[in-house]
Amino acid sequence: MFRVTMAAAALALTAWPAAADKLTLGQISNYLNGLKTAEAEFTQINNDGTISTGRILIKRPGKARFEYNPPVEALVIAGSQQVAIFDGKSNTGPTQYPLKRTPLNLILARNIDLNTARMVVGHEYDGTATSVIAQDPEHPEYGTIKLMFSAAPVELRQWIITDNAGEQTTVILGEMSKGASLANSLFSITGEKNRRNN
């Protein structure tokens, strides 16, 4: 059963670059705000221990697409302030949620400022990676997202979404390709519905 908390993941557990200093919240905010488009393979570890892989496309603000590899028959699209989960095995329409009700909204927002009061509830450095745990300060009940970054250069490597039931989904990103032109149609929930109905 797919949940909006799946969000997405990456191709393989790639090696982390050499250790660097702890990244500040300002540095991380600047990196995320500068991430306009990105594409990567992902590996997703679900709460029950199952693993799936696929490709993620990001177009900030507000758009993401998670394409899962077989045998998983699923597609997750974030667009028009909604998240839609398409199940290839179902004849019914997608399951939809407001994007703002998911922790994924925190990295797809138009302007990200992790210094906002009560947004960051954890900020750590383990000698290799800097991690930040963030939540919607107005709605902490929506869950949290833990982002992990390497430095020199700054790069998003992994995230862990914890939903309001305490279930976790880990997404590990492969090498990211940035700056490509991504058509808005890739992130159209209505367009995907129409395509499947034809």
The fold for domain 4-197 equals: outer membrane lipoprotein receptor (LolB), chain A (2.50.20)
Q: Which of 55, 77, 53 is nearest to 65 (CA)?
A: 77
Is the pTM for the entire model greater than 0.75?
yes
In the chain, where the domains are located = 4-197
pLDDT 10s digits, 123-165: 999 988 999 999 999 999 999 999 999 988 899 999 999 988 8
pLDDT bucket at 7, cuts 50 / 70 / 90: very low
Please report, as a single letter, which amino acid is at residue 95.
T
pLDDT at 5 over 70: no
pLDDT at 93: 83
DSSP 9: -
pLDDT 10s digits, 62-93: 999 999 999 998 999 999 999 999 998 877 88
Sign, CA torsion 3/141/30/173? negative
